[in-house]
Structure 1
Amino acid sequence: MMLRSLSADFLKIRGKGIWFLIFLAPIGLVAMQALNYGLRLDYLMKQYADDLWGALIRDTTIFVPIALYLGVTLVSSLVANVEHQMSSWKQLLALPISRTAVFSAKFTLCFLLLAVSCLLLPAFTVILGLILGFDGAGIPVWDILRMGFSPLLAVLPMLALELWLSLSFRNQALPVTIGVTAAIVSPFTLQLSEWFPLNWPTFGYTGPHASWFIGAGVICGAIIMILGLIHFNRKDVE
């Protein structure tokens, strides 16, 4: 039942600009590094000669949490707005499909869309490195994949919260404000405890205990999703 709802949701987002955002985020991040290396190529090649791939990954990873918070916010809002704009909640929930399946399908849709973006980021990063002349035989495949997917798992609580709020309110001002604020503030919260929730995507990739923050993201994301699901199941629709 959830798979049928998920399939329908994929059809609904056609022509909504969501796929454009999914591709734009990794292209934008890699384009910034292309500009950075293009302007200072000789200097950076000498500076990072011992670990060119590692330096490129580190320089890119700095911006991944910001992009993820914005991505989570926009994707959740756009997915929810498909139903809000068409005022189709009553028709949708009148179908022989449970609210649990509807909510779970929309969460899965958002996660899969973000996962595609996080898969494209490592791919585009590898392409950039090869264009810059990095050693193709020395590509740190595991580190490049972690650059995309570790922060994604650590940001699941924000995804669950944003989707919950986006589905609950027709006016998207509150969830969008929360998400954009989180994206803007996140670089400055690194001065706080590493366990501050906005820091989890960063420390989910870096540091000796990255797996702790990934685990915390998955567990807290599941808890918030369940709370959102309970509220969605009990909420009256318009």
Structure 2
Amino acid sequence: MPDWIRLLWRLPLLGLHVFIGIPIVLISFLPGIRNLPLASMRLHQWTHQLWSRWMLKIFGVALDQRGQLPVGPCLIVANHISWLDIVVLHALWPMWLVAKAEIRGWPLVGKLADLAGTLFIQRGSEASRRRIGRRMAALLKRGERVGIFPEGGIRPEPGVGRFHARLFAPALRADVPVVPVAIRYDRGGDLHEVMVFGPGENFFGNLFRLLRQAPSTVQLTVGSPLKGQLGNRSQLARQCNEIVKGFYDA
């Protein structure tokens, strides 16, 4: 199918999904109904996950999930390839995500991230890191799931970069497990270089390019939960890094 034909039908679907789907999801977040039980989730989690999974379908991305998150609060640590990774992790389970502050200003995604409960961190700011760290620890102690991309940014080249250890500390303070998760886009081969921003490409350019892409799969591999001890965040980060690399390269 020519790229322009895919764009012709996917773009209107995206518009409907955003302008009709988001208000429906927001209604489910209202006090009094947000915590209504639905299967193993709360109502607002179920609608959020469903919205995210349909978002992937509109982009022609099939979710291939391998493994399950543990029951209860945990810190999810994943490699980072595309802004679509945020949707992928919410399709796994609606969670609080830590993301760079610049995303708040992105069209569409910034607003969606804000509404979904994203914790925006200012890169290079120690005060921002400490504030976000305290917020993460409080959420984990409250029983929530929190996700981070510990590479600290998106690599233009394929593969998994080094995991920075600082944002592992809240999981140790809250005494909850850390779960390594690998994200890999595939279409008969690794699509890292297709999914990342191209040279000089802005958000809308990337969005329209991804909407035109042929169907693909996102392999989401969930590892076993790990526990660390206070003071050993660097060791825990290295361990998770090696596990995610192994999943990605498999």
- TM-score normalised per structure 2: 0.26
Considering Cα pairs closer than 8 Å and 6+ residues apart, tell me whether 1 or 2 has the greater RCO: 1
